[in-house]
Chain A
Amino acid sequence: MSGLRHFASVKVPIRAQHEDGILLMEKPVLEVKELTRTYRSGERTLTVLDSVSLTLNPGSSCAVVGPSGSGKTTLLGLCAGLDRPTSGSVLLDGVLLDPLDEDQLAAVRSESVGFVFQTFQLIPTLTALENVVVPIELRAETRVRSRARELLDQVGLGDRLNHYPSQLSGGEQQRVSLARAFINQPKILFADEPTGNLDAETSERVTELLFELNAAAATTLVLVTHDLELAQRTQRIVELKKGTIHSDQDLLLKSKDLAL
């Protein structure tokens, strides 16, 4: 068990909030307030994200869309605690990220966050199985392999456990990465263009798996994508333009409206 994580959980009693009963269900899993991120590039200051606010409830799914450079990935990075905002705050799974140091942020990720990347980002020196177990091994949990095998089975890679990433196709690599994303049973999953590097057919398979696993684990999903078709499969589409929220559609509501 990582000491730093333990340290973090003392400061921010994550567990206590989970056990707070029914009220908890009402609490948002992600609450972003007035988030601004600027970069300095020489003399100029570049505002990539400008006062973005967003709230996501547990179990919901949301796509962040927008043209290149609109701030999608920046928003994702900030929400996951990979980067720090210039101003504004992020409340992730009941934990306010702003006052945490790097290691405490890592502990929050380990506890509550899963990732799927456009470029898969498997560790090249580890086998498929070993890649999948990394997040739970980090939590010093035991008997992790059986769970990993199960997940790899679910994504259809039960026979490729001991292959290295270089021995797997792109689609296979992304499926390993899906298994890895779900292994720590995260509260929230961030997916950055998960099908961006895949051909149409493979994309379809990966997308299916993503939503399947998501539904099964009741994970909150944040999906950054160009792909409007993919975005349509979520409950909500937030469109970013030049660092601000251009539109925010609740598809669930819409579909309910339509049903009515």
Chain B
Amino acid sequence: MKFPLLDDWAWKMAWRESRATGKRLFLFVSSITLGVAALVAIGSFGQNLERAVQEQAKSLLGADLVITNRQLFSEETEALFRSWGGEQSREARLASMVYFPESDGSRLVEIRALEGDFPYYGELVTLPAEAAQRFREGPYALVDERMMLQFEVEVGDPVKIGVFQFTVAGKLQRIPGETMTETLVAPRVYIPLSYLSRTDLVQFGSRVSYRNAFRFGPMTEVEQLLEEAEPHMETQRLRSVTVEDRQRRLGRSMENLYRFLSLVGFIALVLGGIGVASAIHIHIKQKLNTVAILRCLGASAGQASTIYLIQAALMSLAGAAVGVLLGIGLQALMPPVLSNFLPVVISFEVSWGAVGQGLAMGLGIGLLFAVLPLLTVRRISPLLALRFSYEQEDSLPREPLRWLVYGLIVAAICLFAVSRTQSWTQGLAFAGGTLAVFLLLVAVASLITVLVKRYFPDSWSYVWRQGLANLYRPNNQTIVVMLALGLGTFLITTLFLIQSTLLNAVSLAGSGDRPDMVLFDIQSDQREEILQIVRSLDLPTQQDVPIVTMRLASVNGRTVQEISEEPERGRRDWALFREYRSTYRESLIDSEELLAGEWYGRVGSPSDKIRISLEQGIARDLGVSPGDQLVFDVQGRPVETEVGSIRKVDWERMQTNFFVVFPVGVLEDAPQFHVLMTQVRSAETSAQLQRTVVQQFPNVSTIDMALVLETVDAVLDNITFVIRTMALFSIITGLVVLVGAVISSRYQRIRESVLLRTLGASRIQIRKIMAIEYLFLGFFAAVTGLFLAILSSWALSYFFFETEFIMELQPVVIVLCVVVGLTMLIGAVSSRGLTNRPPLESLRAEV
């Protein structure tokens, strides 16, 4: 027995058959082009990215090794560093306000006080270029370019940091190993380390981290150095970052980005696959008679199916090839789109692996989806050639094998998702989600057709009725078009809604009588004066919180070192070794809720037990519950406590929240600093308060809600821009499928419209009927997509982001109008010419 694909006759017939319909068929199959293009672009880009990370590994860190510490390096550590040798750079990082006298503006930034020649690999990109060196030599600062733009600051302008005024030496454009998105949150400002003390910023409670960067000679084994120094590093709580660490971490996050993008691209491909299925379905319906004749003449069912399988395969391959070319072109566009997320410079290179993968995926998806309608070919009876009455256009025989094909398609989607996410749960969740959306769209679409049929508005005028009826008449494309358009609508709208929900959640946190400005790092002796400033502006003091830093010394009599050396029991080391910033107060605040134990607000006498309250997460990570004994090291003094209660904390509120809350009467005399919260309401008052505070107390930092909102907005904008770009592939694919669907029904339409015109319909009427049909199609598709988008946004808000879902009407209405408009436009353009020809010409015209 011969395999039908090896049958020359089938190939010959496939070729002859495609001469007449090839162009049309190609249009169908081009619906997979964009999906392939997306995958090739992303795949190729991903490989370039990987290569760039490899090649630029050292510049990601800027050094061979970086050691970081939360406080000044001890004498022993300095000695260790000296023994290591090599070139060394020192950097201190802290959050602080900067003030631009020229424009009278201030903002919270990350100050980086640098000494030495860091970065050793890669470079600080500045404008002018020499500023990257020059600022190290005097009272100069490098300032984040975007922030300079925002505050209208020029090179040469003064900038006040703490109590010292620097001169802006240059615009900071790029820091090796850091992405734009990272700097959005806290713009970077570089100053020379020797001038840090003049700013007076480093005071008690200031969160300064110190970094020592090394460049070693080629013979130095970094790993070995670290291994030898490990005991010292541990007791000093030093952390090390090597090039490999950085590369690994970055590689992972880049891979996540790349995987995510390829999944979005894959949605476009699957959508294209559905376009292929619908195209082949129509194609086969038009070939029923040909198949029947061939069967009469003695062709086997296998031979007949093979003809169309070959056509589908060749067309898919062609569609995929076009997609590959397009993808290579698109790849050039990827770096600009993603530049805000990339810490490396990407060069353009075609990845043949990605090209091959794209071709294979295009062919595979094209074939899988083509096989579905092709199965019916095997069941076309030769009797069809003998008598028309036997034709059962609407009820092509159902093929039980189709379940197998459905299974294969689902398996292929799952396999792809799992291989991309490299995780069974994530992959299956993605595949499941995609399938669920597809199924829901199909379900809603079929429901609409059924409803339209059942509750058909008989009282409407003829033109409207005819247009509406086209949705459910034989050979309608309602489901396919609704799927294609609905999916695009769904993706875009979900993005919009989630973004606005998140933004609303942030802005809600500062609404009502909740505080919208935080002043922090207030020293004890500054507290009174700052309170006075606040009062003088008629602002309320909503919270005045003391903060005491401390570390955990022991849990139930065992030191944290001992515990960390025990085998893992679900506890996390970070909870053992972190610096706790704790407060004390008498009562719970409204963002807290008692879960277990009892709240103790005050310690009566020094002999009483100190019962503290822990946040539930940290209690879990420490593995403690009420009654357990904790000893804290508060600035060198051990304080014995007992866990009195466990709290749940709503971290989303804009206010100070704490892992550990002490009762009143214990920490009052410990060194501490303060956080003050107030409500400024207007941007003007906010600016006034910030100006006054930053000038009198430069070490005090302020964050107001507007800044947080601005930052969140900027970050979300960045993220959604990328996602939207990817979603665009799905949307354009949807439009291609729509064009295909319109054109495939065009031939049928010609006959209809000619018949109607012969019977006396005017061209205007015919055009109106078509416009109304696309109006309904677009409307129903948009409504379905919007409905699902609202549903999924709600679910995401509720379950994933755990925030209140905000339904914004404006984007919904805009999307609705755009989708309907686009559908009608494409409908009109694709069927143009239908009504221009005289009826007789069209009646004679052959397919």
Contact = CB atoms under 8 A, between A and B. Distances in A.
B169 to A, nearest CB: 75
Task: Indicate the size class of the contact surface on chain B.
Answer: 20 to 34
B397 to A, nearest CB: 12
Interface residues of A, number: 41
B8 interface: yes
B385 A117 contact: yes
B381 interface: yes
Contacts of A77: 383, 386
Interface string B812-847: 000000000000000000000000000000000011
A135 B299 CA distance: 8
Given A123-B294, A137-B9, A82 B1 contact: no
B386 A110 contact: no
Interface stretch (A24-32, A88-96, A101-109, A194-202): A101-109
Given A102-B301, A124-B290, A82 B386 contact: yes
A3 B8 CA distance: 12
A5 B386 contact: no
B296 A115 contact: yes
A121 B293 contact: yes
Contacts of B611: none
A124 B385 contact: no
Contacts of A106: 295, 298-301, 382
Contacts of A7: 1
A110 B16 contact: no
Given A121-B293, A124-B847, A126-B16, A107 B386 contact: no
B297 interface: yes
A115 B297 contact: yes
A138 interface: yes
A82 B9 contact: no
Interface stretch (B17-25, B359-367, B515-523, B771-779): B17-25
Interface string A76-92: 11001011000000000
A184 B297 CA distance: 10
A137 B290 contact: no
A39 B378 CA distance: 22
Contact of B383 (A6, A83, A125): A83
B289 interface: yes
Contact of B387 (A73, A137, A184): A73
A113 interface: yes
Nearest to A114: B297
Contacts of A126: 16-17
B290 A123 contact: yes
A111 B386 contact: no
Contact of A110 (B8, B13, B298): B298
Interface in B265-296: 289-290, 293-296
A82 B294 contact: no
B637 interface: no
Interface string B421-435: 000000000000000
A6 B1 contact: yes
Given A3-B1, A83-B383, A125 B290 contact: yes
B19 A123 contact: no
A192 interface: yes
A107 B298 contact: yes
B68 to A, nearest CB: 73
Contacts of A135: 297-298
Interface string B1-21: 111000111001100110111
Interface string A119-130: 001111110001
B17 A125 contact: yes
B623 interface: no
A146 B20 CA distance: 25
Contacts of B293: 121-123
A6 B300 CA distance: 12
A177 B387 CA distance: 17
Nearest to B379: A102
Interface string B743-775: 000000000000000000000000000000000
B297 A109 contact: yes
Contacts of B382: 82, 106, 109
A138 B387 contact: no
A37 to B, nearest CB: 11
A2 interface: yes
A138 B1 contact: no
A2 B300 CA distance: 8
B303 interface: yes
B302 interface: yes
A2 B299 CA distance: 9
A7 B2 CA distance: 10
A4 interface: yes
A140 interface: yes
Given A124-B847, A134-B294, A140-B8, A5 B300 contact: yes
A106 B296 CA distance: 7
Contact of A107 (B3, B289, B300): B300
A1 interface: yes
Contacts of B302: 4, 103
B289 A103 contact: no
B409 to A, nearest CB: 26
Contacts of A103: 300-302
Interface string A139-174: 110000000000000000000000000100000000
A187 B702 CA distance: 100
Interface string A177-215: 000100010000000100000000000000000000000
A112 to B, nearest CB: 9
B300 A130 contact: no
Contact of A76 (B298, B386, B846): B386
B20 A125 contact: yes
A166 B846 contact: yes
Contact of B16 (A4, A6, A113, A125): A125
Tell which of A2, A7, A109 has the most Cβ of chain B within 10 Å: A2
B12 A137 contact: yes
A135 B303 CA distance: 13
Contacts of B383: 77, 82-83
A180 to B, nearest CB: 8
A121 B385 contact: yes
A138 B2 contact: no
A138 B303 CA distance: 9
A125 B21 contact: yes
Interface in B119-160: none
Contacts of B300: 2, 4-5, 102-103, 106-107
A117 B847 contact: no
A102 B298 CA distance: 10
B7 A130 contact: no
A76 B302 CA distance: 24
A245 to B, nearest CB: 20
A3 B4 CA distance: 8
A92 to B, nearest CB: 13
Contact of A2 (B7, B13, B846): B7
A184 B299 CA distance: 13
Contacts of A80: 296
Contacts of A137: 9, 12
Please name the 8 residue pairs, one residue from A and one from B, whose CB atoms are nearest each other, closest first: A110-B298, A3-B2, A3-B1, A166-B846, A103-B300, A109-B298, A125-B20, A82-B382
Given A102-B301, A134-B13, A138-B299, 20 more contacts: A4-B1, A4-B302, A5-B300, A73-B387, A82-B381, A82-B383, A103-B302, A106-B299, A106-B300, A106-B382, A109-B297, A115-B296, A121-B289, A121-B296, A122-B293, A124-B847, A137-B12, A138-B297, A138-B303, A140-B8
Interface of B: 1-3, 7-9, 12-13, 16-17, 19-21, 289-290, 293-303, 381-383, 385-387, 846-847
11 contacts: A2-B2, A2-B7, A4-B1, A102-B300, A103-B300, A106-B298, A124-B290, A125-B21, A134-B299, A135-B297, A180-B297
Interface of A: 1-7, 73, 76-77, 80, 82-83, 102-103, 106-111, 113, 115, 117, 121-126, 130, 134-135, 137-140, 166, 180, 184, 192
